[in-house]
Amino acid sequence: MRHLIKYRFIQTVREWSVMFWALAFPIILGTFFFVSFGSGVTGEEMDAIRVAVVEQETDQQEGGAFGEFLEQMDGDTLEIEKVDEKQALKDLKGDEITGIYYTGGGPSLTVAKSDLNTSILKALLDSYNKNAHMIMKIAQDHPERLMQAVEALDGWQTMTEEVSVGGRTMNPNVSYFFALIAYACLSGAFLGVQASLDGQANLSALGARRSVTPTHKLRLVLTDMSVLFFIQFVNIIILTVVVRFAFGIDLGGNIGQILLVDLLGSMIGVSMGIMIGCVGKLSESIKMGLTVVLTLFPGFLAGLMFGNMKNIIEQNCPIINRINPAAVLSDTFYCMGVFDDAERFTRNLMILGLMSVLFIGIAFFAVRRERYDSI
């Protein structure tokens, strides 16, 4: 038994192409995420955005209201400098400010490029215009409720903080890292497929030798699975450590919970790969291509490429999120890091465990039915 474990371990870690997809690629992808999102994903405070405010004489009442709105943002979100238009345009061209707000005659914004800071400036202007339009409509239709509406808008930031789910707030970009770990877990399928191919006499010389060995097939399968589970578990732990400490992403939960999720995620990825490798008599290249699809597509549905995808599916077809292992894994990290929902956390773990058992069962029955005319 020790001999089987030793050589399966050596053979697996020497498969550089397989180990790349199972370990290196998720870390590289996570690095790109981290570089792209910058400090916006770690919770670090961002510097105030430097903007110029150009006051216009037209419609002084509206301009004054917008000016007061900007002054409330001055210091924490914005660093405001009131100048004339000529100086503002000069500063914008010299990249000394991010944008120019014009007051009066309908507030407007001028920027020179498109990035995160300009998006924030545009969002502030859109928020003001939306709220101003709503106040005007209430004043026309229900003037008796005007003061109540104004008070509600004055406290909108405080109210948003108070109703944060589970008492915790989270940058929406963190969802990409939850989906990344889920995708990495499923990437263990590459290890499982390769091990399955190594055991099939019609696809590899090693498979031919293993098929005539007196060692029971069940023993071979269990040995392979144990080694692959261990290797993939170590891979996911390495990725988790990188995400938590190198990228500074708070995964929530305690160490025991995180390790349990990593273990079940590793099991479901490897089990899915073994199932893909054992079922059907497709060529090695087709099975590897199928593995790429069956790891990337669930990752996409879980929000790996588009962060809000899982929420869209939850609103329109929630059953997909219940049977998509990547979505279940991602949601499990949400339960630890955001929702603090023990019941939902337990349900997700049970789903992952049942999926793993199902995949292993399908693979085992497929292996039992293998027959060769000659070897």
What is the pLDDT at residue 2? 78
pLDDT tens string 285-301: 888 899 999 999 999 99
Mean pLDDT of 197-205: 64
What is the pLDDT at residue 200? 65
- Strand-pairing partners, residue 273, are none
What is the pLDDT at residue 208? 56
What is the pLDDT at residue 158? 43
pLDDT tens string 146-156: 676 666 555 54
Class of domain 49-167: alpha beta
What is the pLDDT at residue 324? 95
The pair of three-digit structure tokens given for residue 205, joined into one six-digit string: 């010389």
What is the pLDDT at residue 214? 57
Percent of the chain with pLDDT over 90: 33
What is the pLDDT at residue 237? 97
203 versus 303: which is more confidently predicted?
303
What is the pLDDT at residue 137? 80
Mean pLDDT of 254-269: 93
pLDDT tens string 134-187: 777 877 777 777 676 666 555 544 444 434 444 455 666 788 999 999 999 999
pLDDT exceeds cutoff 50 at 356: yes
DSSP 306-325: STTHHHHHHHH-HHHHHH-H
Least-confidence region, from 46-55, 82-91, 135-144, 315-324: 135-144
Domain range annotation of the chain: 2-39+171-368, 49-167
What is the pLDDT at residue 164? 42
CB-based contact 60:104 (threshold 8 Å): yes
pLDDT tens string 96-106: 999 999 887 67
pLDDT exceeds cutoff 70 at 59: no
What is the pLDDT at residue 183? 96
B/e letters for 166-185, b = 16+ CB within 10 Å, e = fewer, are eeeebeebbbbbbbbbbbbb
CA distance 195 to 75: 59
Residues with Cβ within 8 Å of residue 248, at least 6 apart in sequence: 42, 43, 44
